[in-house]
């Protein structure tokens, strides 16, 4: 099973340092890890740094990548829609990225399987440019999965999805991570989703990794006060699940 470790990772745009010295324990495949933090904390930048799309200090170690698998795939937040392609073509293009253009029967079968699993088979012949934001987000997930990544970095993959689709996607990704031993990092704003679907949570804020560990240990009223500046409680529902309840936004100290 794949495992991933960040060691002293940093990133900057020009002279502006976004984060520094981010070091984690080994993150194991098989489960979802939430990446949380306020707007502009550097979540997307951290993903780009992990995916090797930016250089900087520190090391990303990825071990036990299986034959024929992509070590890391970054699924961006804003998936620019290329209006010239259909959904099916765009997923095929993603599948063939970096592996030559010969299309095998097995490529088409894999695309059909992934579109089916995401319940977007009926979008196959639609133009990418004519989709809703939520539909585009589902297509972006298909484009990422068809590349067979060992580590998948999903940047706010549920932000444009309706409630039903959010739950479907998180549930699906959790199952996929477990079945395939993939390491899946998901940047999220809904902390109840992090609590419910992600075994681990990493918090970045102020250019640092503030906390990292089991979601239920990391998401606490103290963290919510310090990082998000809200007064909040963790209550337990009638089924014993923890829930974040926010009472008010705190003024700057
Ligand atoms: N290409 C860029 N050039 C310069 N600054 C950037 C660039 N991309 C992001 N930033 C800045 O870096 C900071 C972190 O951005 P980002 O990683 O997108 O945060 P998040 O995903 O947590 O909202 C923000 O202040 C943002 O304005
Ligand atoms: Mg972002």
Q: How far is the CA of 138 from the centre of ligand 2 (A)?
A: 18
The pLDDT assigned to 108 comes to 93
What is the pLDDT at residue 81?
A: 66
* Same domain flag for 97 and 79: yes
Which residue positions in the chain have pLDDT lower than 70? 79-83, 252-253
- The count of structural domains within the chain is 2
Q: In the prediction, which pLDDT does 80 show?
A: 67
Residues in contact with ligand 1 (CB, 6 Å cut-off): 13, 18, 37, 39-45
Question: Atom 6 of ligand 1 has which residue's CA nearest to it?
Answer: 13
CATH number at residue 109: 3.40.50.300
Whether residue 35 is found in the same domain as residue 145 = yes
Contact 82, 90 (CB under 8 A): yes
Half-sphere exposure of 42 (CA within 13 A, CB side): 24
The answer on 143 and 230 residing in a single domain is no
- The answer to whether residues 141 and 226 belong to one domain is no
Q: Please tell me the predicted confidence (pLDDT) of residue 42.
A: 97
Q: Is 169 exposed, middle or buried (0-12, 13-18, 19+ CB in 10 A)?
A: buried
Residue 99 belongs to what domain range? Answer: 3-219
Atom 9 (ligand 1) nearest CA: 45
For ligand 1, the distance from its centroid to the CA atom of residue 197, given in whole angstroms, is 26
Residues 144, 32: one domain? Answer: yes
Looking at the structure, do residues 116 and 214 belong to the same domain, yes or no? yes
Write down the pLDDT at residue 82.
Answer: 63
Mark whether 120 and 11 lie in a shared domain: yes
């Amino acid at each position: 099973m794949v495992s991933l470790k960040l060691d002293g990772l940093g990133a900057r745009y020009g002279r502006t340092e976004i984060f520094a010295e981010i070091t984690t324990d080994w993150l194991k495949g098989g489960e979802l890890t939430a990446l949380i933090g306020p707007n502009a904390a550097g979540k997307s930048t951290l993903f780009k740094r992990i995916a090797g799309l930016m250089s900087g200090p520190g090391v990303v170690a990825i071990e036990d990548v299986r034959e024929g698998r992509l070590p890391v795939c970054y699924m961006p937040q804003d998936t620019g829609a290329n209006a010239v392609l259909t959904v099916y073509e765009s997923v095929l293009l993603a599948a063939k990225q970096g592996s030559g253009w010969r299309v095998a029967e097995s490529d088409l079968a894999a695309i059909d399987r992934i579109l089916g699993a995401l319940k977007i088979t009926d979008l196959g012949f639609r133009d990418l440019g004519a989709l809703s934001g939520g539909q585009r987000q589902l297509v972006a997930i298909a484009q990422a999965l068809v590349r067979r990544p060992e580590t998948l970095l999903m940047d706010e993959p549920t932000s444009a999805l309706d409630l039903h689709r959010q739950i479907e996607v998180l549930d699906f990704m959790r199952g996929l991570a477990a079945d395939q031993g993939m390491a899946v990092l998901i940047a999220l704003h809904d902390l109840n989703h992090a609590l419910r679907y992600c075994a681990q949570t990493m918090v970045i804020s102020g250019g640092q990794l503030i906390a990292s560990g089991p979601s239920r240990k990391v998401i606490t009223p103290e963290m919510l006060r310090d990082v998000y500046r809200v007064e909040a409680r963790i209550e337990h529902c009638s089924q014993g699940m923890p829930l974040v309840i926010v009472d008010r936004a705190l003024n700057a100290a």
